[in-house]
Amino acid sequence: MRIYLDKCCLQRPLDEQTHPRIRVETEAVFVVLAAIQAGELSRLGSEAIDYEVGRIPDETRCSEVLAVLALAAEHLQVTDAVESEMRKHFKGLSCKVTTLLGIVP
């Protein structure tokens, strides 16, 4: 199964872990990452997530997330066809373009 993790998921383990919800979400991310490393899941990367991660201002966070990005088994390229498909299927939604580009196969 292929899985796409957005920037928020990838950064969750780096957040302050004092709140129970954040700890639970962090554990979920670790379970998914372990499944990727075990070959049970395949992580998708994309130009969109590369762009978003590149904009993380904290260098430590950015380098940690980049290490996880390296686990991508497949990298989706943003082509004219992908953008066209995005606009066709998600017309009228109030999502960021980078979010939509990350989910259009």
**49: exposed, middle or buried (Cβ count in 10 Å: 0-12, 13-18, 19+):** buried
- With a threshold of 0.85, does the pTM exceed it? no
d(CA 71, CA 42): 9
pLDDT recorded at residue 41: 94
Condensed to tens digits (0 to 9), the pLDDT of residues 71-89 reads 888 887 777 777 777 777 7
Instruction: Give me the phi and psi of 21, to 5 degrees please.
Output: -60, -40
Q: What is the mean pLDDT of residues 45-56?
A: 87
Closest listed residue to residue 7, CA positions, set 61, 71, 60: 61
pLDDT exceeds cutoff 90 at 38? yes
Provide the residue ranges of all domains of the chain, joining segments of one domain with +.
2-76
